[in-house]
């Protein structure tokens, strides 16, 4: 038996709760993992509360990532005792995920926990931090360097934004942080933000072109915020877009693209090829200050997940939430 958050929808309304489940109920897979830590992400919060169409089949154990120890394996790449982690691949959506004490998955979805990190640190980074690193790599591949100019990070107090700030500042970029929570200004500055900007100035409909300022940006919000970021990029600027916290729409124009030659780089972390995952995690071992990681992380228990999910959607959580699945 193992404990897990289980989402159900049948004759009764949509509901989520912590239950004890028989290992025989685990879905098909060639590697079984005893989970040490998981996380609570925005997508997990949508799944748990039912506020977004995340879950594709029921019942479902949510949790888009986890880190733990291989308990059994018929996959030649992994043996009992190996430390592994998983990000994405549809777990927590159409395959039971990480907010549990056990998981059974395809071995091809796993990668080794980097030796520089413990399982807890790997989940303090989690999908949010791994996505942030993919965004930074995208900016670099499009020629953005610290000498190019300022970088803007939206949703800066959240999981992706907070790790992005820490990584970009360590790499030498001057970073401006956008947030709707002015009270988090000191937190953001400790992560490396040189300037704090109010979310309101980006959230409303804006002009097709604004004054050029940003050499690059990382956006987790979408909608009017992304359109306004694009409108204010400098000539040849790049924005890595990885989220839709403000909406899925993109109410912008082609003006920044055809008059300033900007690039909108879409970042998918769920189905990312293994080679990209390994590179992102390798970069995190060298470009993320572990002390900052500890500073931006809160640890909770499995029993606290459902209550915290509502707070995540209300924008009342900062940084990263690590879930100790065994307490």
Q: 317 in a domain, yes or no?
A: yes
pLDDT at 164: 98
Residue 310's domain spans which residues?
A: 2-113+296-324
Q: 201 in a domain, yes or no?
A: yes
Q: 118 in a domain, yes or no?
A: no
108 and 140 in a single domain? The answer is: no
pLDDT at 244: 92
108 and 132 in a single domain? The answer is: no
Structural domain ending residue among the three candidates 244, 266, 288: 266
pLDDT at 242: 97
Cα dihedral 241, 243, 244, 248 sign: positive
45 and 109 in a single domain? The answer is: yes
Q: 239 in a domain, yes or no?
A: yes
Q: 166 in a domain, yes or no?
A: yes
pLDDT at 326: 94
133 and 252 in a single domain? The answer is: yes
Q: What is the pLDDT of residues 262-292, one digit of tens each?
A: 999 999 999 999 999 999 999 999 999 999 9
Q: Kindly tell me the number of DSSP H helices and DSSP E strands found in the chain.
A: 10, 15
Q: 308 in a domain, yes or no?
A: yes
Residue ranges of the chain with per-residue pLDDT less than 50: none
pTM for the predicted model, two decimal places:
0.95
107 and 149 in a single domain? The answer is: no
**How many domains would you assign to the chain?**
2
pLDDT at 318: 87
Q: Which CATH number fits the domain that encloses residue 161?
A: 3.40.50.720
């Amino acid at each position: 038996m193992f404990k897990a958050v289980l989402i159900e929808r049948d004759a009764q309304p949509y509901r989520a709760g912590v239950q004890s489940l028989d290992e025989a109920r685990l879905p098909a897979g060639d590697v079984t993992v005893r989970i040490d830590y998981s996380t609570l992400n925005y997508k997990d919060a949508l799944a748990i509360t039912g506020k977004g169409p995340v879950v594709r089949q029921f019942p479902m154990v949510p949790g888009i990532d986890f880190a733990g120890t291989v308990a059994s394996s018929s996959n030649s790449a992994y043996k009992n005792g190996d430390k592994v982690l998983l990000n994405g691949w549809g777990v927590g959506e159409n395959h039971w995920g990480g907010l549990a004490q056990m998981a059974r998955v395809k071995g091809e979805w796993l990668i080794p926990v980097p030796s520089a990190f413990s399982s807890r640190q790997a989940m303090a980074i989690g999908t949010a931090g791994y996505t942030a690193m993919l965004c930074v790599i995208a900016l670099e591949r499009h020629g953005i360097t610290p000498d190019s100019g300022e970088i803007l990070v939206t949703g800066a107090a959240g999981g992706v934004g907070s790790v992005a700030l820490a990584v970009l500042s360590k790499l030498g970029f001057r970073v401006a942080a956008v947030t709707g929570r002015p009270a988090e200004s000191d937190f953001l500055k400790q992560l490396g933000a040189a300037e704090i900007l109010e979310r309101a100035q980006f959230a409303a409909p804006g002009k097709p072109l604004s004054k050029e300022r940003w050499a690059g940006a990382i956006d987790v919000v979408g909608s009017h915020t992304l359109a306004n970021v694009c409108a204010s990029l400098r000539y040849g600027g790049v924005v890595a877009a990885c989220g839709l916290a403000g909406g899925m729409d993109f109410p912008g124009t082609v003006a920044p693209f055809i008059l300033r030659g900007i690039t909108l780089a879409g970042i998918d972390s769920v189905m990312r090829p293994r080679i990209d995952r390994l590179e992102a995690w390798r970069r995190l071992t060298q470009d993320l200050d572990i002390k900052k990681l500890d500073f931006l992380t809160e640890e909770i228990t499995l029993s606290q997940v459902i209550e915290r999910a509502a707070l995540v959607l209300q924008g009342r959580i900062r940084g990263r939430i690590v879930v100790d699945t065994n307490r």
